[in-house]
Structure 1
Amino acid sequence: MWRPDPRCGKWRPPPPIWGVVLFFAAASLFAHDFWIEPTTFRPEVGSTVGLALRVGQGFRGDPVPRMNEKIVKFVLVSPSGAETQIEGIAGRDPAGRARIGTPGYVVAGYRSSPSSLELPADKFEAYLKEEGLESVIEERARKGDSQKASKEIYSRCAKAVLDAGGGGTTGFDTALGFRLELIPDTGPKKLTSAGGALKVRLLYEGKPLAGALVFALNRDEPEKRLSARTDGAGRVRFDLPRAGVWLVKAVHMVPAPAESGAEWESLWASLTFEVP
């Protein structure tokens, strides 16, 4: 049963933020992907791993320093399900560090508070088309808003799967209760060096999200991105052609809460992992 983090629920006006966040918002159209990039996806037990946040496009990203006022949730979940807060120093990159205590799959998760952005009509429509948000395009057309600028609030729901000590068998599919969440049904070690069939679920508020466009990119060949839409059970399958570090991502957009002052709210989910 879905149990949302109590701090992740309704939109709240964000507090005053640093200049770097203003860059983060301004860059969101053409550099909008957001993900967790650990120093290694296969850390040794007893080691400390850096957990960097990245924003960019085509799996090429700029550092996002730790901004405590933007963090709703930043945790590491052990193979047994124990949750540890990821600590870090404000303004530093990587945004967090965590000690790996036990072997097996561990999941890092980051949930941001909302930021806001206003775009002119042409850029907003192009962004909607790029992310496969045709239903929003149609709704704007129905309301006669296609030629109008749009104000949006957006937040990030990023996860990374790490195989500590090479002993991972379970735990890769840990759910963190994010409003939009990608959950792999296939562990990275089940995918061979020549790639393999990756199955992923996309949940919105704990329920399968059908018809959403999902992308998969390999860090070494990001231009050869894969895409597919989720089925009625919120599932999508990718036949990965190669090993290496992968980014899976999806966006979902809904009408924004009235108190936000925006027309739309978008949620950005990402999942990073390494195929050995």
Structure 2
Amino acid sequence: MWRPDPRCGKWRPPPPIWGVVLFFAAASLFAHDFWIEPTTFRPEVGSTVGLALRVGQGFRGDPVPRMNEKIVKFVLVSPSGAETQVEGIAGRDPAGRARIGTPGYVVAGYRSSPSFLELPADKFEAYLKEEGLESVIEARARKGDSRKPSKEIYSRCAKAVLDAGGGGTTGFDTALGFRLELIPDTGPKKLTPAGRALKVRLLYEGKPLAGALVFALNRDEPEKRLSARTDGAGRVRFDLPRAGVWLVKAVHMVPAPAESGAEWESLWASLTFEVP
């Protein structure tokens, strides 16, 4: 929120939320989920929507302030495919704001640069199991690394689908070219009580990723999470039991580039939207 500066009678923003920065640094150590949480998933045309970044678990998150040095891409894409850079002030929450110019489905996307992470062996193995990364567990076992600490780089690939002006019919499936990306095949308004069958594709470097574990969580009942593995075409289907705000997420891990100083690289994809 903005507030007046009594010294000059002008408006000035509050100080950066450094406490949140420190929290984010600590939270990142445990490879928590990351997502975009707009001020509304159904903004009015002509309005400005806040695009907050959140980190946490079980769809319970804390604010992530804008850190320009971590942003590779932060955009809002219109129904016609026009891409607008999401602006914001460093150290502030929400991390970005964007004006809604046309009606229809718009897609917000955030891609971060990699961060380095070290974890004790037991925490890393537990995290791999939780995210369905058994192939990495097996690879570590073959190398005799199961009891060794991990060295990992990780980055975020977050998206949100918004229905501007309530007129969305196309554009919800816009691809942003992220290395790991979740793309819905079903628009939120099609997910009615008569049939809430959500179909989603998971792409890695533009190609379908088979066998990946994908989760879906409702904000009001995150403990009742759904999970399924992608088929050969990288697709997964969830029969959503209720309306509300949903988070779909997946993690993929590959050997890290030699120059990174890490052994593994993880990519965290997320997709948020609201079912009316």
TM-score (norm 1): 0.91
Q: Detail structure 1 runs of 4+ shifted over 2 Å in the superposition.
A: 1-26, 28-31
Q: Which deviations, in whole Å up to 9, do the C-alpha atoms of 1:92-148 show, x marking residues without a partner?
A: 000000000000000000000011110010000000000000000000000000000
Deviation at 1:22, TM superposition (A): 6.0
Q: Confirm or deny: 8 A CA contact 2:255 2:265 kept in the other structure.
A: yes
Q: Confirm or deny: 8 A CA contact 2:17 2:65 kept in the other structure.
A: no
Residues paired across the two proteins, number: 276
Name the stretch that deviates more: 37-46 or 17-26. Answer: 17-26
Name the stretch that deviates more: 61-70 or 190-199. Answer: 190-199
Please list, as runs of the form range in 1=range in 2, the aligned pairs for 1:71-86 lying within 5 A after superposition. Answer: 71-86=71-86
Q: Confirm or deny: 8 A CA contact 2:3 2:12 kept in the other structure.
A: no
1:58 and 2:58 aligned: yes
Question: Cα gap change, 1:9/1:52 in structure 2, threshold over 3 Å: closer, same or farther?
Answer: farther
Greater relative contact order (Cα < 8 A, sep 6+): 1
Question: Cα gap change, 1:11/1:208 in structure 2, threshold over 3 Å: closer, same or farther?
Answer: farther
Deviation at 1:157, TM superposition (A): 0.1
Structure 1 unaligned spans of 5+: none
Q: Which deviations, in whole Å up to 9, do the C-alpha atoms of 1:160-203 show, x marking residues without a partner?
A: 00000000000000000000000000000000147600000000
Larger radius of gyration between Structure 1 and Structure 2: 2
Q: Compute the RMSD of aligned alpha carbons.
A: 8.7
Question: Cα gap change, 1:128/1:3 in structure 2, threshold over 3 Å: closer, same or farther?
Answer: farther
Q: Confirm or deny: 8 A CA contact 2:4 2:10 kept in the other structure.
A: no
Deviation at 1:2, TM superposition (A): 41
Q: Which deviations, in whole Å up to 9, do the C-alpha atoms of 1:11-64 show, x marking residues without a partner?
A: 999999988656434323546000000000000000000000000000000000
Question: Cα gap change, 1:181/1:7 in structure 2, threshold over 3 Å: closer, same or farther?
Answer: farther
Q: Which deviations, in whole Å up to 9, do the C-alpha atoms of 1:196-233 show, x marking residues without a partner?
A: 00000000000000000000000000000000000000
Structure 2 unaligned spans of 5+: none
Q: Confirm or deny: 8 A CA contact 2:154 2:268 kept in the other structure.
A: yes
Deviation at 1:254, TM superposition (A): 0.3
Secondary structure of the 1:80 match is coil
Secondary structure of the 2:203 match is strand
Q: Confirm or deny: 8 A CA contact 1:215 1:250 kept in the other structure.
A: yes
Q: Distance in 1 between matches of 2:217 and 2:4?
A: 28
Question: Cα gap change, 1:41/1:48 in structure 2, threshold over 3 Å: closer, same or farther?
Answer: same
Question: Cα gap change, 1:167/1:116 in structure 2, threshold over 3 Å: closer, same or farther?
Answer: same
Question: Cα gap change, 1:99/1:245 in structure 2, threshold over 3 Å: closer, same or farther?
Answer: same
Deviation at 1:9, TM superposition (A): 46
Question: Cα gap change, 1:6/1:201 in structure 2, threshold over 3 Å: closer, same or farther?
Answer: farther
Q: Confirm or deny: 8 A CA contact 1:75 1:86 kept in the other structure.
A: yes
